[in-house]
Chains A and B, each alone.
Chain A
Amino acid sequence: MATKLDKVDVVVVGSGWAGGVVSAELSKAGYKIVMLERGKDQKRSDFIGVKDELRYTNRHEMIEKLTNDTITSRVSISDAALPVRLHKEMNVGTALGGGSMHWAGSVYRWRSYDFEIRSKTVERYGESKIPEGMQIRDWGITYDELEPYYAKWELTAGISGEPDPLGDHRSIDYPNPPMLASPAIKLFKESAKNIGLNPYQMASGNMSQTYTNPDGETMNQCMFCAFCTMYGCDFSSKSDPLATVLPTAQKTGNCEIRTDSLVRRVIHENGKATGVMYTDTKTGQEFIQPADVVVLAAFTFSNNRLLMLSEIGEIYNPETRKGTIGRNFTGQFNSTFLGARGFFEDKKFNYYMGAGGLGGALSDYDADIFDHTDLDFIHGGGIELRQYGDAAIKNNFVPKGTPSWGPEFKEKSLHYAYRSLIVWYSAAVMPWWHNYMDLDPTYKDEFGDPLLRITNKITDQDRNIAAFGIEKCAEIMEAMGADIIDKDELPDQFDHTYEGMHYIGGVAMGEDPETSAVNNYLQMWEMENLFVVGGSALPHFSSHHPTPTIGALAYRAAEGIEKFLKEGGMLAEPKKVGY
């Protein structure tokens, strides 16, 4: 029998950016919070001396182990899904701070076009531009409404950057100047400028200088050590929850964090959440944590699965296109981040140096900045040159046609180490009626609960946008003077590899409870004291990394929760819009 614990104001599931922001804000406001995190406890000093490529990049030390819990995956609703079995095939965060600890730190706001994508597309090109079955909608919030929350997150996270010349309105400058530009980034920017484009230094969650945020948390200047993406930062120079929101929450004395606590159900009665049930993964003991408000901030997959297992809301059914939970699943998978790799005979770049968010970028082919009248897709992508810093196992790039092993491979991989650069297109991904999440009929976790099942197909829209982007990247690579240019190839179909945590939706926000699960405060239409925070709320995948938008919406949700705790009730009026 589960042990029932004392009631608190708010229970928050998950300790990443999403859960961290909500807990920091509510505990500062004086509410009693319990945060439940399934993974282990960790502190910043645990990352000292972890610059070990095999252990972190290849063996995924910081990534959730799939031993007892994974997802199943298929392309079409007429396939049987198979489990994603290998640890390396799915990146999801675990341990205190979540996936937000081993992120790279490239920072983009999403575009004004995103938030009103349906009306803006129709307005410019007419209804017929949106193909049947593409489930895009306006989000129920505009860019201008969300802007102050973006600003708030950027100040907390200490973002380093300069404005995108083609970007939307900003109320604040980035709190820190942009990162230094390496010779490769300078080459990218100068060459792009020469062909009439508008490059800038990518904004980053790596600190360009020592910085203290408005909550009094200090982060150090980034050292460009290059063991960044997939690692915890041992200098506390990467903005993450352990450096920011978690200590802010804890020092109020109002937030208790319990690690090794796997939440398995949201408990509810008469349409109201009463708490959550969780298992202590070290003892196997079960607990019930009652609360006035339940916040799910356990990343896309757990947020969706917990609602489905707890029988809250109606699971989306592609046959009827009814139901909201699991609907609008999108992700940046193998048709995105394609581009062109250039090999330079007489240049060598210090590419063993770098940082997760170090790069040059441009937005000339992003969102609706360019005319789509004669194009067979909507939306766009950012173009980036990133200098993560490549360690030795990864850095084995050879021109196409070179064997992948043997004497010629050895010779060329050594010759071209530090002589190649890639420019890629971070294409946006639209939601379709046939891409969604539900529960798998066959595969189970250690408790006998069904796994989450993903159905995801790459569409013509995805192929067309990628083909367009690859050409643009190749043009830039040519301007950069590469001797050999290898263009990426379009994939036949989805490869069931879930890298980088760019998968979202399923508890998507909107104005119409028929098609959306949460309102623009991420409050469930069906259960007013349940808030579902994180990428699960995003109705489509824009052309950039998701975290700043997750952070901004978490600030918005925190504001809504506080309002709800004071006044109760629905925080937004439902509308009937039909999509």
Chain B
Amino acid sequence: MTNKDSKGMSRRNFLKSSGLVAGGLVGGSLFGGLLTSQLQKGEKDNTKQVTAEPSFEARTFFSRNEDFDILSAAVERIFPEDSRGSGAIGLGVPYFIDRQLSGDWGRNANDYMHGPFPTIKKTDSYQEENRSNNDVINTSTEVLVPANTPRYQTKMNRGVFFLEGLRAMEQTSKDKFGDRFVKLETEQQDEVLKMFENGEVQFNGVDSADFFSLLRQTTIEGVYADPVYGGNRNMEAWRMKEFPGPRMGFMNDIETEEFLVMEPESLRNYQGHN
């Protein structure tokens, strides 16, 4: 394994090997802005570290401290700090999630959220699955029950779903261990999370497993998304994973046998906002 700092493709090599200069396309509208800013930046700036913007660290969605604290404790159990590096808290994931929930995604703005919203419980699943394998002709569709599927069919948007889910975790902690989630031992917190993962808790007509999978996926997104979204602080998760971030391309390295480690670059580098 070699450690080639910021090998990838330099801007100059990129131009040379892409044949763009020969094709006369550089002057065109296509490459205008980006290449110019990248070229002006020069080679030196490529690896410049993006430091965390302290202004990321405020909440725009969660209004109760308690909710945010449960979220923070939970995401840290999902992606904990260890000898390899920071966990979800150190990477800024709770703030990432807060910002995601306050935007289009958290409000399900791009999803079909019109009713009716039937309740589908996991407990019906065997019966429903069997029925789904039989085509009964001559029944009026209007009176039929929907078959169980793991699909998102709740009226709650993700923001509400998160709040309700975190509060259900708090309630479960109190019921099972007699204390608030953030006060539990990590093993006990893991136990609550496992109960959620296994769908052992129901709230507002949804299954805790659906909430857990959303929480888990959003945590992973916060760990590894571009730092512009508030997580993956200082690209530390990319460094842990040896992911180089957005690059113009790897034409010179695609056939290389050895694994190439590069100092990561972020969208901020890539778009030339330095």
Interface residues of chain A, those whose CB is within 8 Å of chain B, are 43-45, 48-49, 51-54, 58-60, 65-70, 74-87, 89, 180-183, 209-210, 218, 220-227, 234-236, 318-319, 348-350, 352-354, 391-393, 395-396, 404-407, 409-411, 414, 417-418, 434, 441-444, 457, 492-493, 495-496
Bound Cα distance from A34 to B217, whole angstroms: 44
Q: Which 10 pairs across A and B sit closest by C-beta, in order of nearness?
A: A223-B249, A51-B246, A392-B224, A348-B259, A353-B250, A54-B225, A65-B110, A78-B136, A80-B144, A70-B112
Q: Does B116 contact A (CB under 8 A)?
A: yes
Whether A49 pairs with B34 at a CB distance below 8 angstroms is: yes
Checking B1, B82, B112 against A67 with a beta-carbon cut-off of 8 angstroms, the contacting residue is B112
**6 A-B contacts, Cβ less than 8 Å apart?**
A76-B135, A78-B137, A84-B112, A182-B255, A350-B259, A406-B77
User: Would you call B149 and A82 a contact (CB within 8 A)?
Assistant: yes
Whether A396 pairs with B267 at a CB distance below 8 angstroms is: no
Contact with A along B72-83 (1 / 0, CB 8 A): 000001111010
- The answer to whether A74 and B25 have CB atoms under 8 Å apart is no
**Does residue B248 face the partner (Cβ distance < 8 Å to A)?**
yes
Known A183-B255, A210-B23, A350-B256; further 14 A-B contacts with Cβ < 8 A? A58-B225, A68-B112, A85-B111, A181-B255, A221-B251, A224-B249, A225-B249, A225-B250, A348-B1, A350-B253, A393-B225, A396-B220, A441-B141, A496-B149
Alpha-carbon separation in the docked complex, A395 to B132 (Å): 34
Query: Is B135's CB under 8 angstroms from A226's CB?
Result: no
Say what secondary structure dominates the interface of chain A.
loop
Q: Any chain A CB within 8 A of the CB of B55? A: no
B58: Cβ under 8 A from any A Cβ = no
Q: Assess A411 versus B147: contact at CB under 8 Å? Given A54-B221, A352-B243, A393-B220.
A: no
Report the bound CA distance from A43 to B31 in whole Å. Answer: 12
Q: Which among B12-20, B40-48, B62-70, B160-168 touches the partner chain? A: B12-20
- 1/0 per residue, CB under 8 A from A, across B107-147: the answer is 01111111010101000000001011111111101101111
- Min C-beta distance of B99 to chain A, whole Å: 11
Tell me if B226 is interfacial: C-beta within 8 Å of chain A.
yes
On B, residues with C-beta under 8 Å from A are 1, 9, 14, 17-20, 22-23, 25, 29-34, 77-80, 82, 84, 87, 105, 108-114, 116, 118, 120, 129, 131-139, 141-142, 144-147, 149-153, 190, 193, 197, 216, 219-221, 224-226, 228-229, 232, 237-238, 240-244, 246-251, 253-257, 259-260, 267, 270-271
Contact B135 A86 (CB under 8 A): no
CA distance A88 to B146 in the complex (A): 21
B110 adjacent to A87 (CB under 8 Å): yes
User: Which residue of the partner chain B has the closest CB to A396?
Assistant: B220
The chain B residue sitting closest to A90, CB to CB, is: B112
Residue contact A78 to B153, C-beta cutoff 8 Å:
no
Given A352-B244, A392-B237, A410-B82, A53 and B225 contact (CB-CB distance below 8 Å)? yes
Contact B216 A80 (CB under 8 A): no
Chain B residues, Cβ within 8 Å of A59: 105
User: Which of A59, A85, A221, A395 has the most chain B CB atoms closer than 10 A to its own CB?
Assistant: A85
Given known contacts A45-B32, A49-B267, A183-B255, A406 and B110 CB-to-CB distance under 8 angstroms: no
**Known contacts being A45-B32, A66-B111, A410-B80, is A392 close to B19, with CB within 8 Å?**
no
Do B18 and A235 have beta carbons less than 8 Å apart?
yes
Complex: how many Å from CA A541 to CA B224?
A: 36
Q: How many A-B residue pairs have CB under 8 A?
A: 239
Chain A CB count within 10 A is highest, among B25, B131, B253, B255, for: B255
C-alpha gap A76/B148 in the complex (Å): 12
Residues of B within 8 A of A182 (CB): 254-255
CB-CB under 8 A from A348, the residues of chain B are 1, 259
A49 CA to B137 CA, complexed, in Å: 53
Instruction: Return chain A residues, CB-CB under 8 Å to B22.
Output: 210
Contacts of A183 in B (CB 8 A): 255-257
CB pair B250–A220 under 8 Å, yes or no, is no
Q: Which residues on the B side are within 8 Å of A396 (C-beta)?
A: 220
B259 CB contacts on chain A under 8 angstroms: 348-350, 418
B190: which of A75, A84, A220, A406 is its contact (CB, 8 Å)? Answer: A406
Nearest A-chain residue to B17, judged by Cβ: A221
List chain A residues, Cβ under 8 A from B238. 392
Given contacts A182-B254, A457-B132, contact A81 B146 (CB under 8 A): yes
Q: Which of B1, B20, B251, B254 has the most CB of A within 10 A?
A: B254
* B30→A236 contact, CB < 8 A: yes
Closest partner residue, chain B, to A432 (CB atom): B135
Contact of A417 among B30, B226, B242, B270 (CB under 8 A): B242
Minimum CB–CB distance from A209 to chain B (whole Å) comes to 8
Residues of B within 8 A of A82 (CB): 118, 120, 146, 149, 151, 153
What B residues does A224 contact at CB under 8 A? Answer: 249-251, 254
B183 to chain A, nearest CB (A): 20
B18 touches A223 (CB 8 A): yes
Residues of A within 8 A of B138 (CB): 319
Question: Which residues from B are CB-within-8-Å of A51?
Answer: 246-247, 267, 270
Say whether B253 contacts A80, CB under 8 Å.
no
When distances are taken between beta carbons in the complex, the residues of chain B under 8 Å from A414 are: 84, 240-241
* A492 contacts across to B, CB distance below 8 A: 129
B221 and A393 form a contact (CB under 8 A): yes
Distance (Å) between the CB of A267 and the closest chain B CB? Answer: 28
Complex contacts, A349 vs chain B, CB 8 Å: 259
- Tell me which residues across on chain B come within 8 A of A410, comparing CB atoms: 79-80, 82, 84, 87
Q: Are B34 and A493 in contact (CB under 8 A)?
A: no
Which residues in B have their C-beta under 8 angstroms from that of A69?
112
Across the interface, do B110 and A66 meet the contact criterion of CB distance under 8 Å?
A: yes
Question: In the complex the two chains form, is A417's CB within 8 Å of B241's CB?
Answer: yes
- Pick the contact of A393: B129, B136, B224 (CB < 8 A): B224
Cα(A84)–Cα(B152), bound, Å: 8
Query: Would you give the shortest CB distance from B117 to chain A, in whole angstroms?
Result: 9
Q: How far is the CB of A39 from chain B (nearest CB, A)?
A: 13
B residues near A87, Cβ cutoff 8 Å: 110-111
How far apart are the CA atoms of A77 and B29 in the complex, in Å? 52
